[in-house]
Amino acid sequence: MKDIIQKLVSIPSPSGFEEKLREQVTKLLEGKIGEVDFMGNLVVKHPGKGPKILVEAQMDEDSIIANHIDKNGFIRFYPSTAMKEADILNRQVIFPSGGCGYIGAEEVAEGTVLGFDKMFVDVGAHDKKTAMKMVQIGDHASFHTESRLEGGRVIGASNCKVPVAVLTWLANEYDGDANLVYAFTAQGRLGGRGAAAIITRENPDIIVTIDSTPATDTPNCPDKTRIDLDAGPVLVVKGNIVPRDMNAVSIFEEVAEASGIQTQRTVKDAYDMHDMRIARLVASVPIITVGIPTRKFGMFGSVSSVPDAQAAGKLLSKALRKKLVK
């Protein structure tokens, strides 16, 4: 698991341009044949018996989209996901070409609110022609965050990379006879578009999502909602949009107890476009979320635990051998 995380954590994967991360995952899948669909999803099938289980992790991360390049080579953009202007000002971004730049802003009158229409990316270009060698209209750029593994912790942009690593490990290690579809989904930050395409096509009987779950073991969080790093994966028992399947949650917890795997519970109360899209498509299909506890700092900083990722992989490998659908 640690080696997989190490190879994935620094790869940029802006929404709609996840190919670099997808290519690395493909290399790590130990010869398994995957299919890439028109949305950019990577799908690997494990044929077996019983109900079809879709196991999903999102590959993409927050990004901005280039929508204009002026004569001086400055790039105008709009955000692909919900974000605040102040959160991204002066941040470094990376475009699919590998070109990097910093986000700046025009001066605004005192008392005027800064808007995205006053912001730009400086890629160091002399003019529009030079800039267009690095950036095209419609390109998504991800936010550059230094990432590293240290002392069993993943420090940096681990929000989507650690869940993807867990799914990669699971696809390599699972040797049971369940009928599984491993889905490394694209454009999740754009309202779960990739997952929606796969769910519509595969028509699963149950959906298992691997995600990052906010840890609350830092000094600024109340103990009553405590989710700790190094205390095991988190099982979501209630969603804000999609109700979680308590039968499956119980099975996961029974497997965890029998296997000596520590788990935690949480209630998901934040609005989630990914969940909303699933609810609209398959309201009657059971869903369970296995979360990796992740300390989140603003939009881009995060700290998660390699042992938690290992425990999540082990739990999934064992629980997927059970009868999850009544």
CATH, residue 118: 2.40.30.40
Residues 78 and 219 in one domain: no
In a domain? residue 148: no
What whole-number distance in Å separates Cα of residue 23 and Cα of residue 46? 20
pLDDT value of residue 187: 87
| One domain, residues 100 and 176 | no
Q: Give the pLDDT score at 96.
A: 85
pLDDT of residue 134: 95
Residue 89 pLDDT exceeds 60: yes
User: Is pLDDT at 225 greater than 80 in this prediction?
Assistant: no
Q: Mean pLDDT, to the nearest integer, of 132-160? A: 88
CA distance 323 to 326: 7
Q: Residue 118 in contact with residue 108, Cβ under 8 Å?
A: yes
Same domain, 196 and 52: yes
Q: Which residues contact 127 (CB under 8 A, 6 or more apart)?
A: 71, 72, 73
Q: Could you tell me if 229 and 83 lie in one domain? A: no
Instruction: Please check whether residues 238 and 303 belong to one and the same domain.
Output: yes
Does 135 share its domain with 169? Answer: no
Domain extent at residue 114:
65-143
263 in Cβ contact with 315 (< 8 Å): yes
Residue 154 has pLDDT above 80, yes or no: yes
User: Is 57 within a domain?
Assistant: yes
- Domain shared by 114 and 204, yes or no: no
Are residues 291 and 161 both part of a single domain?
yes
Confidence of residue 224 (pLDDT cuts 50, 70, 90): low
Q: So what's the pLDDT on residue 193?
A: 86
- Is 150 a member of any domain? no
> Is residue 326 a part of any domain in this protein?
no
Query: Are residues 86 and 216 both part of a single domain?
Result: no
Residue 44 has pLDDT above 70, yes or no: yes
Q: Smallest Cα–Cα separation from 155: which of 300, 319, 322, 307?
A: 300
Domain annotation covers residue 325: no
* Total structural domains within the chain: 2
Whether residues 234 and 279 fall in one domain = yes
Domain closes at, from 143, 165, 196: 143
Residue 282's pLDDT band (boundaries 50, 70, 90)?
A: low
**CATH for 249:** 3.40.630.10
Q: Are 12 and 161 in contact (CB under 8 A)?
A: no
Averaged over 113-127, what is the pLDDT?
A: 94
In a domain, 230, yes or no: yes
pLDDT of 221 strictly over 90 = no
pLDDT tens-place string over residues 197-218: 999 899 999 999 999 998 988 8
Residue 238 has pLDDT above 70, yes or no: no
Q: What are the backbone angles phi and psi of residue 219, rounded to the nearest 5°?
A: -60, -25
Beta pairing partners, 303 = 155, 295
Domain final residue, candidates 79, 112, 143: 143
pLDDT of residue 28: 96
Query: Is 45 buried (19+), middle (13-18) or exposed (0-12) by CB count in 10 A?
Result: middle
Q: Of 267, 263, 211, nearest to 239 (Cα)?
A: 267
pLDDT at 239 over 80: no
Mean pLDDT of the chain: 89
Task: Judge contact between 46 and 174, C-beta under 8 A.
Answer: yes
76 falls within a domain = yes
From 81, 113, 143, the end of a domain falls on 143
Does position 79 have pLDDT exceeding 80, yes or no? Answer: yes
pLDDT of residue 20: 92
Q: Is the pLDDT of residue 247 over 80?
A: yes
* Choice between 190 and 69, residue whose per-residue pLDDT is larger: 69
Residue 152 lies in a domain: no
The whole-number average pLDDT for the span 283-310 is: 89
Q: What is the mean pLDDT of residues 119-147?
A: 93
Check residue 147 and give its pLDDT: 86
45 and 113 in a common domain: no
Over residues 86-103, the mean pLDDT reads: 92
Least confident of 53-57, 105-109, 116-120, 266-270: 266-270
Q: Is the same domain home to 299 and 195?
A: yes
